[in-house]
Structure 1
Amino acid sequence: MFVFPFSVRATRRLALAAALVLVAAGTQAQVFGPGPRRPMRAAQAERLTQLDNARIAFFTTRLSLTQDQAQRFWPLYNEFIMRRRELNRTGRLLKREQIETLTDQQIRDNLTQTYATRQQELNLEKDYFDKFQRVLSLRQVAQLLAAERDFTKEVIRRVAGNPGPAPVGTE
């Protein structure tokens, strides 16, 4: 069983941040929080670094990456995550507006932009599917998709305060 290198108590305080990071996770040269590029507190940055390290270990094990594959895969994956994070940030900004204060045309424009952003996310995933196949086997690419989902479930379960193994039949 995989053991995360951070305490359950610390992860509870990061529940929302962890969920957002897992949906659009990656490693950045500088550590910034969501929103208008404001620096994170050192403790948050440390926990996110630990989460990234746990993701690397989880994916590397799950995909059975060779050293050569890992050296080529992680920069590509981090690039993918950064681009996906930017699209997710755009989508979140679109959804924050209060519908009650918008005109019908503004609502239409907002929904059109939301669909365009979702299409861009799909296009990004398809593009990186091709790029990942240059580094990984087709089976490993399929395992990557499952590993992302399983890692997210595992962290959410642990953040919720249930650090034991996943119940049978939940995967």
Structure 2
Amino acid sequence: MKIKNILPILLFLVSFSFYAQGEKTDEKREKIKAYKVSFLTTELELTSSEAEKFWPIYNAFDDKQYELRHEKMKTYLRKLNDDNISSVSEKEACTLLSQIESTDKELFVLKEKYMANLKKVLSAKKILKLKKSEDDFNRKLLKQYKEKAGKN
């Protein structure tokens, strides 16, 4: 598996563990979000006109993606953790699998709409730069998390 495929899963698990920590989660999420905005703003070199159109699109996508990944997936993971896979009936497993597939489809449709909206305000080159910058940010965040975890 490529790192590009593993990274979102790791970030999901990291953010999921943040979620389990209660109210501190929202504070951490806001700090990470602010850090990400600063990082992307620097990396993308958006004009004021581009930034004015880009950030509402980006924030709406980011919020909806977070909701899908963390609110819905959290329910699935809790079910698997609470009941343990071996004690889940085949019918329950099929239902859970169907729910996961449905959420994956929602994420796919969301990403398609996001890309279509981005193409209206940014050049293809800047969209690619955004993707690279997001990957760089995620690697940097994961590295910081690993360093922090290593100190504890």
TM > 0.5 fold call:
yes
Name the CA shift for 1:127/1:161 in 2 (closer, same or farther; >3 Å): same
Name the CA shift for 1:129/1:44 in 2 (closer, same or farther; >3 Å): closer
- Equivalence for 1:6: none
CA-CA distance at 1:159 after TM superposition: 2.0
CA-CA distance at 1:60 after TM superposition: 1.3
Query: Please, which of 16, 23, 38 is the counterpart of residue 40 of structure 1?
Result: 23
The answer for unaligned runs of 5 or more in structure 1 is 1-15, 22-32, 163-171
* Percent of aligned pairs with the same amino acid: 23
Q: Secondary structure at the match of 2:122?
A: coil
Name the CA shift for 1:91/1:58 in 2 (closer, same or farther; >3 Å): same
| Deviation digits for residues 93-136 of structure 1 (CA, Å, limit 9, x no counterpart) | 11322222211011011111111111111111011000011111
More helix by share: 2
Q: Distance in 2 between matches of 1:17 and 1:50?
A: 16
Q: Distance in 1 between matches of 2:88 and 2:109?
A: 29
How do residues 22-41 of structure 1 correspond to structure 2 at under 5 angstroms?
Answer: 34=19, 40-41=23-24
Q: Distance in 1 between matches of 2:113 and 2:73?
A: 19
**1:106 corresponds to which letter in structure 2?**
E
- Equivalence for 1:63: 44
RMSD (Å) for aligned C-alpha atoms: 2.8
- Equivalence for 1:142: 128
Q: Distance in 2 between matches of 1:17 and 1:48?
A: 12
Q: Secondary structure at the match of 2:107?
A: helix
Q: Distance in 2 between matches of 1:56 and 1:85?
A: 15
Which shifted more, 122-131 or 53-62?
Answer: 53-62
CA-CA distance at 1:80 after TM superposition: 0.4
- Runs of 4+ residues deviating >6 angstroms: none
Query: Please, which of 86, 91, 103 is the counterpart of residue 117 of structure 1?
Result: 103
**2:105 corresponds to which letter in structure 1?**
Q
| Deviation digits for residues 114-171 of structure 1 (CA, Å, limit 9, x no counterpart) | 1111111111101100001111111111222222121011011012228xxxxxxxxx
Query: Please, which of 61, 75, 83 is the counterpart of residue 56 of structure 2?
Result: 75
What's the TM-score once normalised by structure 2's chain length? 0.74
Is 1:107 matched up with 2:93? yes
Query: Please, which of 50, 69, 74 is the counterpart of residue 92 of structure 1?
Result: 74
